[in-house]
């Protein structure tokens, strides 16, 4: 069964995948940082909808919480904000675009401690490996 992307169901399935994956738990055992993924519509026209946020609380190889979050809800700023158009995020989570290449070419913009992110490339890659296991419908 696949999940619409982006959707709260997809996000919850990703959290379950991360928490059930022993390799991710080991690779990410020292990771300390929450992430807000801001997914912008592919087209700027009103029919394309508005931006949405996916919040992931990632800590020592576990996903402690996920939620679809309004972008201006006053929540504390997460350690990382990743922002891209829906199509670019979709390419990353389906394996069509390497996440590090997406960051370097700014197709996936990163706000946060880029040095920390670069020191933890294996964690980033394994997170994406888990995300690719969550089937996307449509």
pTM of model > 0.85: yes
Mean pLDDT for the chain overall: 91
Q: Express each pLDDT in 95-127 by its tens digit.
A: 899 998 998 899 999 999 989 988 999 999 999
Give residue 46's pLDDT band: very low, low, confident or very high (50, 70, 90).
Answer: low
pLDDT score of 50 more than 90: no
- Helical (H) or strand (E) element with 122: helix 121-132
Block residue for tokens 């949405």: 52
User: Which segments of 66-113 does DSSP mark as H helices, in order?
Assistant: 86-93, 99-104
**Sheet-wide strand order for 32-40:** 62-69, 52-59, 32-40, 80-85, 109-112
pLDDT score of 48 more than 80: no
pLDDT score of 3 more than 70: yes
Give residue 47's pLDDT band: very low, low, confident or very high (50, 70, 90).
Answer: low
Pairing relation of β-strands 52-59 and 32-40? antiparallel
pLDDT score of 74 more than 70: yes
Give residue 22's pLDDT band: very low, low, confident or very high (50, 70, 90).
Answer: very high
Residue 12: count other Cβ atoms within 10 Å of its Cβ: 16
- Helical (H) or strand (E) element with 37: strand 32-40
User: Which domains, and CATH codes, for the chain?
Assistant: 8-132 (3.30.1050.10)
């Amino acid at each position: 069964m696949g999940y619409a992307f982006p959707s709260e169901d997809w996000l919850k399935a990703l959290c379950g995948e991360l928490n059930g994956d022993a390799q991710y738990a080991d690779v990410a055992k020292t990771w300390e940082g929450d992430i807000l993924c801001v997914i912008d519509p592919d087209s700027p026209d009103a029919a394309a909808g508005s931006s949405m946020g996916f919040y992931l609380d990632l800590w020592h190889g576990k996903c402690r919480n996920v939620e679809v979050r309004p972008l201006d809800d006053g929540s504390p700023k997460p350690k990382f904000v990743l922002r891209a158009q829906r199509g670019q995020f979709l390419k990353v989570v389906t394996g069509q675009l390497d996440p590090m290449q997406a960051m370097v070419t700014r197709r996936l913009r990163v706000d946060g401690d880029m040095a920390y992110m670069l020191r933890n490339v294996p964690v980033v890659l394994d997170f994406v490996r888990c995300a690719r296991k969550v089937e996307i419908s449509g």
